[in-house]
Chain A
């Protein structure tokens, strides 16, 4: 039997989970939770590229999610764009902003990016909160319908709203994971992982360290932006919370909890932290406490994250 590569194994596991879990859903509500997990998983896959592969950290990725989300709210009404093109526009703006912010910073040590992105995220959420005429301020703003579900219905595929978004986001996640896994194997991906080990060593073997880091930052910003767009389109509504500091922290925590170095691990982390508030209603009050604690404990005791650590244990026992 031909041995499965790690890449196809990850994609198969993901596809199987997305396809099979709905059979166990007790009610339509779970499609919504599932879609939320996939969207968070998509954003966190971007964090894998930035943090897991390249060893950089962003504390303001929610800012890009905010740009993606508000692009879907604003571009259709103000520019007359179709919502699907608004997703592309949001991603393009996020990518360009990431390039402009990242270019001067990524030449420097790791914590400069953390501070600059922290400031960037706060700035984006400040603009969204304050420019009431454009964004509706803290109360949020309506987002137009994507319209794809109606199109599918005309073609004879009649899905409920929950089902449609579950599978649509699931497919988006699969594509995102596929791209991230391809990147992992490519020369660019190898260069990224090399500089995670040692930037200086990577530089001496001829890798353009600053450029490769910048690529990772831009790509991960686009992931966050698309994820923000999907949330906005699904809810048909968006508030500045999507760009808030705590949302950035959630993304990082999901990635490191599951395992920032592995796509499947990070998506697993996104699943846990998305399900937790659904399962425990009291969680909202303790959310910050728990997120902070998880970040510290994982970095001290399970630096690879939950899934890679568990897999390593299992593998070790097998041999």
Chain B
């Protein structure tokens, strides 16, 4: 029993990271219909920049703040320089652009930083908490709490603020949003900044547990996407639940089947979801306007 609880704790921890990545996917997907394959690189940058700034002598909170702001700025730059110019291009071209951005950021990270594996100290020490015969790292609570706070913040933002509603309006119908006076360019900028910032935050919170390196991004992207798809593409609630579920499935696979092939769990989930319920757990059946 305590063994199962232990697996659940580790599943919830990585699941929280995947949920944050899935939320990032969802924001950009809703605002622009673009599936941003560089989403995982934001997590990598959050971790790597924080490590770099902290190693250079800055206090950890300041280093983390710099990482989040810098990554958000990069997200905006990717939108302005690479995605906006290709507006209206076929899906394949947009996929190639965002996967290109992903590969580019990986290449840049290994030049600017290095190819080593890095970490920085946990926020509230390393003394594990004992709960019901299992242990949990205090940092895990930071990650899980972070995912829940971000979700609640996004929910408030999208339902209670004018700006948030403007983003929703833009995702519903860009032209109509423009006609009622919404600055859709600003909405896009905001969406990319928010999405990249959330990715970076995930990296900051998770690095003391999962460690970071220049090439960790693509794995986060794959699992975050699996989470978003499992929950139903474009649905924030689905993204949160899907991310946690992928984490749990992965932890249980590692615990009871094979730790080598835990990475395969996300892929198997993707295939099963596509096969049996392409609209996901919370998604509605989509129809396409021609």
Contacts and interface: CB of A to CB of B under 8 A. Distances in A.
B99 A300 contact: no
A246 B222 CA distance: 15
Interface in A272-298: 285-296
B51 interface: no
Interface string B106-137: 11101100000000000000000000000000
A109 B91 contact: yes
B69 interface: no
Contact of B288 (A115, A118, A200, A295): A200
Interface residues of B, number: 45
Nearest to A107: B278
Interface in A239-295: 245-246, 249, 252-253, 256, 285-295
For A59, A120, A198, A287, the residue with the greatest tally of chain B CB atoms inside 10 Å of its CB is A59
Given A122-B263, A296-B82, A115 B91 contact: no
A108 B93 contact: no
Given A111-B35, A291-B107, A303-B89, A245 B218 contact: yes
Contacts of B290: 198, 200-201
Contacts of A256: 96
Contacts of B107: 286-292
Contacts of B263: 122-123, 126
B264 A300 contact: no
A296 B83 CA distance: 9
B63 to A, nearest CB: 25
Given A292-B104, A293-B104, 6 more contacts: A116-B271, A288-B110, A291-B107, A296-B97, A300-B86, A303-B93
28 contacts: A55-B90, A57-B92, A104-B271, A111-B35, A112-B278, A115-B222, A118-B218, A119-B270, A123-B267, A126-B263, A196-B90, A200-B290, A201-B290, A245-B218, A246-B103, A249-B103, A252-B99, A288-B106, A289-B104, A291-B100, A291-B103, A292-B102, A292-B104, A292-B106, A299-B89, A299-B94, A299-B97, A303-B93
Interface of A: 51, 55-57, 59, 101, 104-105, 107-112, 114-116, 118-120, 122-123, 126, 130, 196, 198, 200-201, 245-246, 249, 252-253, 256, 285-296, 299-300, 303
